Amino acid sequence: MSDDSAEIDGKSGKQRVLLVTGMLGAGKTTALRVLEDLGWEIVDNFPIRLLDGLIESAPETDEGARPPLAIGFDSRTRGFNPDRIIAQVKALEGRGDIELSTLFLDCSSAELERRYNETRRRHALASDAPVSTGIRAEREVLAPLRRWAEMLIDTSGYTSNDLQRVIRERFASSASEEMTVTVSSFGFSRGMPPVADLVFDMRFLDNPHWDPELRPQTGQDPAVGDYIRKDPAFDEAFARIRDLLLLLLPRYQAQGKAYVHIAFGCTGGRHRSVFTAEQIAAALRQAGFSPTLLHRNLGSRAADLLEGGPRRER
C-alpha cells in the first residue's frame, strides 16, 4: 500500500471506498488509471449489487488496514439502476468500517458528440440512432446519480492530462506525488541505456582517458574532475543542462510523471559521464529533489580495449 493509502486509512480507521461513474466518454477510465497509480485498488465495470461482498473480501495489509478501493461503473454495467444503486449506497453509509463517496464525471453533450465522432465509436445507448440520441438517453438515465454524487468533475474543456492532474490534486497526498528521479552514467561503446527519458552526450568534452595517469581513475576521483572542469566548454554546458532539468522536472511532476531517468554518456562510461552525473545529482539535491545515482559502466575495462586500438578521441 502506498503512503497515500496509509495516510487516508490512518486518519479515520475506515477503508475508503470511491464509486466512480458518469457519462460515457467523460473520462472514467482515465480517472481510474490515475487512482491505481496512486495506490488505490481498482475494479471497473463492477455489478454494484455485489458491492457488499467486494468490500468484505478486501485484503488487509500487514498493518491491518485495507487499501482504498475505487469501483467504476456506468450505464453499460449489468443490472445498472441508479435508484437502486443510491438505495444500496445509503445502506452502506451506515457501516462504521468504511468511508464511502461517489465521483461523477460529466461532460457537455456537444463535446461528447465530438469525441465519439473523432474516435468513430458507437454510443452504447444509441443503437442505430445518431450519437446525440444515445447521449440524451444516457443523461436522462444518469440524472439521479449526478444529483446524488458528492463530487462532480466536468471534463468538457479538459484534455486527458488536465483530468489526470485534477484527480491527483483531489486524491493524492504530497508523499504519493513525489517523483522518482534517476541520474545515471553509461558508455556509448557498450550501448545506449534501454530506458532513459533524457540522454546527454558528453563526448564533446576533453577525454581524461588519453592521459596515462588519469586513465585508471574514474569520474569520482578529484584529479579527473579537475581535468574535466578545465575544458572551456564544461561550465557553460553544465549550467545549461542543470537549468534545463530544473525547468523540466517540475513540469514532468505536474503532468503526473512518476519516474524520470536522466542519462549521461561518454565513450567508455568511466570518466566524463560519471563526473557530470555526480555533479548534476548534487545540483538536483540542492534544488530539493532526491535523485538516485547509478553508474552502469564504472567498473568496465578501458574503452580502447573494446574499440580495437589507441584511436585518440576527444
Q: What are the pLDDT digits (tens) for 45-74?
A: 877 777 777 776 655 544 556 778 899 988
Q: How far apart are the two ends of the chain, measured CA to CA in Å?
A: 49
Q: Considering only 76-85, 155-164, 282-291, which range has the smallest mean pLDDT? A: 76-85
Average pLDDT score over the chain: 82
Range with top average pLDDT, 5-19, 120-134, 261-275? 261-275
Residues with Cβ within 8 Å of 277's Cβ and at least 6 positions away in sequence, in order, are 183, 184, 185, 219, 264, 293, 295
Q: Is the pLDDT of residue 224 over 90?
A: yes
For residue 296, the model assigns a pLDDT of: 87
As a whole-number percent, the residues of the chain with pLDDT over 90 amount to 40
**Res 113: pLDDT:** 87
Within 13 Å, how many C-alpha atoms sit on residue 227's CB side? 23
For 156-191, what is each residue's pLDDT tens digit? 988 887 888 888 878 875 444 578 898 999 999 888
pLDDT grade, residue 220 (50/70/90)? very high
**Mean per-residue pLDDT, 22-29:** 91
Element (H, E) at 262: strand 259-266
pLDDT at 177: 55
Torsion angles phi and psi, residue 4, rounded to 5: -60, -45
246-272 average pLDDT score: 91
User: What pTM does this model have?
Assistant: 0.56
Q: Residue range 214-234: average pLDDT?
A: 96
